[in-house]
Amino acid sequence: MKIGVLALQGDFDAHRRRLEELGAEVVLVKKPEQLDDIDGLIIPGGESGTFLKLLGEKGFAKLKDFVHSKPSFGTCAGCILLATDIENPKQAGLGALDITVRRNAYGRQIDSSIRDGRFLNEPIEMVFIRAPKIERTGAGVEVVAAEGNDPVLVRNSKTLASTFHPELSDDPRIHQYFLDLVRSDQAKRAEV
Ligand code: GLN
């Protein structure tokens, strides 16, 4: 199983290390054509506006095709990129997950924090850095983890997105969950 990590900016290397610890083969994706060769993609945290600039129109279109056909997991800025609707300010999204996300929703006072949430009903540490908030989840979007009353990890059949940074906690469960999602997508493809 080959997993790409979008490596244009942001904390892609922590994702690479975690995926390798879990036995996945990792490709750092710097060029659009590399998307042709992977089974799933992680879009890391960083600054979503900067990602849009670095991708350019062609890169955005290629990435959009990818996330609409294969599994992807966006963390923080990556979650913002995968959304259909983005606020504060409004910006383009890849539209793989029917959610509304508000950027930098916690204000400057709580720029970053470590909080405890629940993942599949088990307690888990969550690292938030200038985090967005998921304000709306559309039909077919399932909440997989919450912090207080806020959904912080959501999915549909092949797209996963978190407003926190699982790669910065010493806990492999969320990345394992994504690898399981990629594996089940591959199994489905093999049946067809
Ligand atoms: N605040 C960033 C944005 O709006 C996301 C922050 C992060 O990825 N840690 O894109």
pLDDT of 109 reads 62
In angstroms, the first-to-last Cα distance of the chain is 18
Please report the atom of ligand 1 found closest to the CA of residue 76. 8
- The rounded mean pLDDT for the chain is 96
Cα angle value 188/192/62 (rounded, 5°): 70
The Cα–Cα gap between 36 and 45 comes to: 22
Residue type, 153: L
In sequence order, which residues have a C-beta less than 8 Å from that of residue 61 and are 6 or more positions away? none
For the segment 167-185, the average pLDDT, to the nearest whole number, is 98
Mutational test site, ligand 1, from 106, 129, 165, max ligand atoms within 8 Å of CB: 129
Compute the average pLDDT of residues 45-51. Answer: 96
Burial of 79 (0-12, 13-18, 19+ CB in 10 A): buried
- What's the 188 CA to ligand 1 centre distance in angstroms? 33
Q: Which atom of ligand 1 is nearest to the CA of 10?
A: 8
Distance of CA 47 from the midpoint of ligand 1 (Å): 5
Catalogue all structural domains in the chain, each as residue range(s) with its CATH number: 2-191 (3.40.50.880)
- Tens digits of residue pLDDT in 54-86: 999 999 999 999 999 999 999 999 999 999 999
Nearest CA to ligand 1 atom 1: 130
Q: Which residues line ligand 1 (CB under 6 A)?
A: 45-48, 76-77, 80, 103-104, 129-130
Residue among 15, 90, 130, 165 to mutate when testing ligand 1 (max atoms within 8 A of CB)? 130
Taking residue 41's Cβ as centre, other Cβ atoms within 10 Å add up to 24
In one letter, which amino acid is 174?
I
Q: Are 178 and 40 in contact (CB under 8 A)?
A: yes
Predicted confidence (pLDDT) at residue 162 exceeds the cutoff of 70: yes
Helix, strand or coil, per DSSP, at residue 151: strand
Q: Active-site residues: which are they?
A: 76, 165, 167
Residue 186 is encoded by which pair of tokens?
């591959």
Q: Measured between alpha carbons, how far is 156 from 11 in angstroms, rounded to an integer?
A: 24
The size of the chain, in residues, is 192
pLDDT tens digits, residue range 104-120?
998 776 689 999 999 99
